[in-house]
Structure 1
Amino acid sequence: MSLIAAMVLLAQAGATASRAATAADLAALAAADASRGLIPGDPCTVAAETAAAQGATLQSCSRAGPGGTVVEVRTSARVDPAVHWFALIPDATGRARAGPPP
């Protein structure tokens, strides 16, 4: 029984880490598009909305490069609350950077 519980906790942690990383990737790409004027909106606002749509929270958003077209974001995602209280698993984090090709 303990082995099954450990496997469930590990699977939840892995799924949450994947969700945080995917949210960071998509948020960075969307923000980079916004910074280049390809889609409307403030890049960091677009990144926050994109991360939220993926079940994550935007922790930071920074712009660099010519015209601020390179965007770096950090996201976090919580493990399912049913599992979080049991194992006190920390939030998963993701980081991504996007912009025009060099």
Structure 2
Amino acid sequence: MSGSRRGAGDDAGSGSVVAVGVCAALLSLLLVVLALVTAVVARHRAESAADLAALAGADVVVGRATGDVCARAAAVARAEGAAVVCGVDAAGVVTVTAAVRPVGLAGLLGPARATARAGQAGAQPGAQTGVEAGAQATSGEAAPAGTAIQ
């Protein structure tokens, strides 16, 4: 035999093409999973920042700390890497919304947001919001009502 097989040239290299296709699919899947993980991490960071900022603001309300409620909450949120919108109602309940922008591809979807409330035990949130009372701050600065976190 001369070593020539019928049809051997038809399939030559097809395994390499399949392997490249499988690698590309796995890489795409890995990128999607990585984007989801960074979005979840950003959400957890936003929740943590909102919780800590609300507690810091509540410390001012109950007299454990001095200064402006929303300025203190904004300073704590900034230290956690979050932008914040803060409000205090008539009952002294501090409401904080924190936003953290995820890194990478997930950042294209916008920031992860979380809201937390803190105040004295038994305090019921009043009808008057921090926006109406003029006690709103965005990252430590006064902001008009309805300002969106960027």
TM bin, normalised by shorter chain, reads 0.7 to 0.9
Is 1:79 matched with 2:67? no
Question: What's the Cα RMSD here?
Answer: 1.4
Q: What per-residue deviation string (whole Å, max 9, x for no partner) do you get for residues 21-70 of structure 1?
A: 11000000000011111011111000000000111011x2111243xx21
Q: What TM-score do the two structures reach when normalised by structure 1?
A: 0.88
Is 1:50 matched with 2:79? no
Q: What per-residue deviation string (whole Å, max 9, x for no partner) do you get for residues 79-102 of structure 1?
A: 12xx14x76121000100000110
Corresponding residue for 2:88? 63
Structure 1, unpaired ranges of 5+: none
Contact conserved, 2:47 with 2:113, CA < 8 A, in 1? Answer: yes
Aligned partner letter, 1:61: C
Q: Give the 3 Å change call, closer, same or farther, for CA 6–32 of structure 1 in structure 2.
A: same
CA distance in 2, matches of 1:57, 1:41: 19
Contact conserved, 2:101 with 2:107, CA < 8 A, in 1? Answer: no
CA distance in 2, matches of 1:2, 1:19: 26
Contact conserved, 1:13 with 1:89, CA < 8 A, in 2? Answer: no
Aligned partner letter, 2:96: V
The count of residues paired between Structure 1 and Structure 2 equals 96
| Bigger Rg over Cα | 2
Return structure 1 stretches of 4+ with deviation > 6 angstroms: none
Corresponding residue for 2:117? 97
CA distance in 1, matches of 2:55, 2:96: 10
The structure that is helix-richer by fraction is 1
Structure 2, unpaired ranges of 5+: 1-26, 123-150
Corresponding residue for 2:48? 22
The structure that is strand-richer by fraction is 1
